[in-house]
């Protein structure tokens, strides 16, 4: 690769500011991937191998590195960051996440990442003075997220966290690699084979392996006991209030979404026409869109006060004109992830590659059908007829040629069978009331003696092929138990993201950004801690003194293991449709 091309691709990694929403910013490894470099190294060794470079995977790598371990981090796409980046999902968080509301339910590292994103805007973007002086600015002024920012900025800030370890030779990153084989010695994994973008298999060996893929792809490869979909309910099953089905169903999974990025130039909306051709399946989806927008406002032409009703253009907007100096930006940008473009008729887990790809393509066409509706037929409250022709796909934001996310927004993965499972009766408000017979405000979530973190979200299970209604039910502020992260049948495998041993129902709460980050970070810290202390996760957890010492170690690094007493009996309804 020539120096000039590499310089062009690397762009802002060294600190050069971004000047437009979605401007592509490459790390060294991304630049190599984009240039089509062929790797000459086909085997890697580290103390900790993190498979999956999403929210949990990045956090797991940082947790292990910070505690002295060497790490190999792998990722199937060419972007790190998962939900934040390749999936185009602004942070789904809870009311206590901000400093002004306590900054609870997150790790110090996650809090620092959020602060870095805001500071990046203040340093490199043409933001207003009001934005600069605001301690909690929201670049997109979105109402689903308290910090809705350009995916490029999330990537930049994550790369900046990783770059010192890369430079020191303590971290290797393999982009475009997916797990396809494994070598084991009894109940211990010794190496994982990963297929790269050139079709070659590269072997990565290590002492601990952290499963942080978006779909739980490592679990079947290494032979970990795992589960897909809905468990058997009732007294002989999970015994959860909202799962009374007497049979299990691996096809009962949450819907996924192929999110798209749209731009809208208000000043030239009358003359711009970016309308796309009608997708083949449009007429099939049109009634769903018409029903949704008959009940919900969509108007990119202006801001609305909340008294006028929430505007779905603002729902996941990541660039609001009001955040930037006049004339600096010509378009607002919103990430389109609505209930009406959730793909509910096919799954990604437990199907062969051909079916999986067909479902992804169908989900893309569903999203493009939604764009066609918005451009041609969406009701306009301003009296301008129907549709917004000036809406356009922002391929620079997505990093793809079609303006749709690099990867599906995955809500439910294959789940590790751990030492225990998190059930609805552990965290669900109504299930706890039924179980314990007390008023909701007198109860809390179950207390986990082996807690390694905290989080909160309502139990939000999106409709899928076997459940047309989904679930939207209250949950208490909760802890993250270590028992759900430790593989039952393998000695050196940890869950580092959505593959944690939740039930189908509680996955709807534990799947969001700050919780996934905490799971990953705690897994990374645990792996390094076991290496330095010559112990293993199962022994550590079963020995009271060792577990207590490890929890103190977590807290010393800013990983909260419990909520303040004033918040333990709390819940708050977040925005719908996350």
Task: Tell me the per-residue pLDDT of 241-277, one tens digit each, with 9 for 90 and over.
Answer: 999 999 999 999 999 999 999 999 999 999 999 999 9
- Using alpha carbons, select from 371, 389, 378 the residue that is nearest to residue 335: 371
For the chain, percent of residues with pLDDT exceeding 90:
89
Question: Contact at 8 Å (CB) between 414 and 477?
Answer: no
Torsion of CA 51, 114, 422, 53, to 10 degrees: -10
pLDDT for res 432: 98
Residues 6+ apart with CB under 8 A from 3: none
Angstrom distances, CA of residue 25 to CA of 9, 10, 11, 15: 7, 6, 6, 10
The model carries a pTM of: 0.94
Tell me the per-residue pLDDT of 138-147, one tens digit each, with 9 for 90 and over: 999 999 999 9
User: Scanning the structure block, which residue is given the tokens 């603002």?
Assistant: 314
Say yes or no to pLDDT of 7 above 80.
no
Residues 6+ apart with CB under 8 A from 145: 90, 91, 92, 93, 138, 316
What average pLDDT does the segment 468-478 reach? 96
Tell me the per-residue pLDDT of 535-554, one tens digit each, with 9 for 90 and over: 999 999 999 999 999 999 99
CA 170 to chain centre: 25
pLDDT for res 12: 31
pLDDT for res 10: 31
What average pLDDT does the segment 287-296 reach? 96
Tell which wins on pLDDT, 10 or 206.
206
What average pLDDT does the segment 419-434 reach? 98
List 461's β-bridge partners, or say none: 471
Say yes or no to pLDDT of 322 above 60.
yes
What average pLDDT does the segment 341-352 reach? 97
What average pLDDT does the segment 55-71 reach? 98
Say yes or no to pLDDT of 33 above 80.
no
pLDDT for res 417: 98
Mean pLDDT of the chain: 93
The full set of domain ranges for the chain reads 256-398
Tell me the per-residue pLDDT of 167-214, one tens digit each, with 9 for 90 and over: 999 999 999 999 999 999 999 999 999 999 999 999 999 999 999 999
Return the ∠ at Cα 25 (arms to 24 and 28), rounded to 5°. Answer: 135
Residue 533's pLDDT band (cuts 50, 70, 90): very high
Instruction: Pick the range with the lowest mean pLDDT from 86-90, 164-168, 326-330, 492-496.
Output: 326-330
pLDDT for res 575: 55
CB atoms within 10 A of CB 242: 19
Sequential DSSP letters for 354-423? HHHHHHHHHHHHHHHHHHHHHHHT-B-TTSS-B--TT-EE-HHHHTSSSSB-SS-B-S---EE-BSS-B-
For every residue of 226-281, which 3-state class applies, written as one string?
EECCECCCCCCCCCECCECCCCCECCCCCCEECCEEEEECCCCCCCCCCCCCCCCC
User: Scanning the structure block, which residue is given the tokens 């909260």?
Assistant: 560
Residue 356's pLDDT band (cuts 50, 70, 90): very high
User: Scanning the structure block, which residue is given the tokens 């905290």?
Assistant: 454
């Amino acid at each position: 690769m020539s120096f000039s091309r590499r310089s062009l691709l690397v762009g802002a990694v060294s600190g050069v500011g971004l000047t437009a929403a979605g401007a592509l910013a490459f790390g060294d490894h991304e630049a190599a991937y984009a240039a089509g470099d062929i790797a000459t190294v086909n085997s890697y060794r580290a103390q900790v191998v993190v498979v999956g470079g999403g929210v949990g995977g990045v956090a797991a790598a940082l947790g292990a590195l910070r505690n002295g371990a060497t790490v190999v981090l792998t990722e199937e796409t060419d972007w790190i960051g998962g939900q934040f980046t390749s999936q185009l999902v602004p942070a789904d968080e809870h009311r206590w996440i901000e400093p002004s509301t306590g900054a609870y339910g997150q790790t110090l590292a996650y809090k620092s990442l959020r602060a870095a994103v805001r500071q990046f805007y203040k340093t490199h973007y043409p933001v207003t003075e009001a934005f600069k002086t605001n301690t909690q600015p929201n670049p997109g002024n979105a109402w689903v997220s308290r910090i809705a920012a350009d995916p490029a900025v999330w990537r930049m800030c994550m790369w900046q966290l990783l770059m010192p370890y890369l430079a020191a030779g303590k971290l290797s990153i393999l982009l475009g690699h997916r797990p396809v084989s494994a070598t084991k010695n009894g109940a211990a994994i010794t190496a994982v084979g990963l297929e790269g973008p050139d079709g070659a298999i590269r072997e990565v060996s290590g002492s601990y392996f952290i499963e942080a893929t978006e779909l739980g792809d490592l679990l079947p490869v290494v032979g970990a006991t795992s589960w897909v979909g809905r468990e058997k309910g009732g007294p002989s099953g999970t015994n959860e209030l909202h799962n009374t089905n007497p049979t299990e169903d691996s096809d009962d999974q949450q819907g996924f979404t192929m999110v798209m990025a749209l731009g809208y130039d208000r000043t030239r909306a009358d003359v711009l026409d970016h309308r796309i051709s009608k997708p083949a399946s449009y007429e099939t989806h049109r009634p769903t869109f018409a029903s949704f927008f008959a009940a919900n406002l969509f108007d990119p032409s202006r801001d609305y006060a909340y008294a006028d009703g929430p505007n779905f253009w603002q729902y996941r907007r990541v660039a609001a004109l009001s955040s930037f100096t006049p004339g600096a930006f010509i378009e607002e940008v919103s990430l389109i992830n609505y209930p009406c473009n959730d793909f509910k008729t096919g799954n990604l887990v437990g199907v062969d590659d051909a079916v999986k790809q067909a479902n992804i393509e169908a989900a893309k066409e569903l999203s493009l059908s939604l764009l066609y509706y918005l451009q041609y037929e969406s009701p306009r409250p301003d009296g301008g007829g129907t549709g917004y022709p000036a809406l356009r796909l922002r391929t620079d934001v997505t990093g793809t040629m079609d303006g749709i996310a690099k990867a599906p927004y995955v809500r439910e993965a294959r789940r590790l069978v751990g030492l225990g499972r998190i059930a609805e009766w552990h965290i669900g408000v109504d299930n706890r009331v039924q179980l314990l017979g007390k008023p909701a405000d007198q109860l809390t979530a179950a207390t986990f003696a082996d807690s390694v973190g905290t989080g909160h979200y309502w139990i939000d299970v999106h409709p899928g092929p076997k459940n047309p209604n989904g679930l939207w039910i209250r949950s208490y502020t909760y802890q993250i138990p270590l028992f759900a992260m430790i593989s039952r049948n393998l000695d050196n495998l940890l869950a580092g993201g959505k593959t944690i041993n939740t039930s189908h129902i509680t996955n709807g709460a534990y799947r969001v950004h700050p919780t996934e980050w905490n799971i990953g970070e705690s897994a990374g810290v645990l792996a390094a801690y076991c290496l330095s202390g010559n112990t293993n996760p199962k022994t550590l957890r079963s020995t009271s003194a060792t577990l207590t010492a490890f929890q103190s170690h977590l807290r010393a690094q800013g990983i909260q293991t419990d909520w303040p007493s004033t918040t333990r009996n709390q819940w708050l309804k977040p925005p719908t449709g996350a």
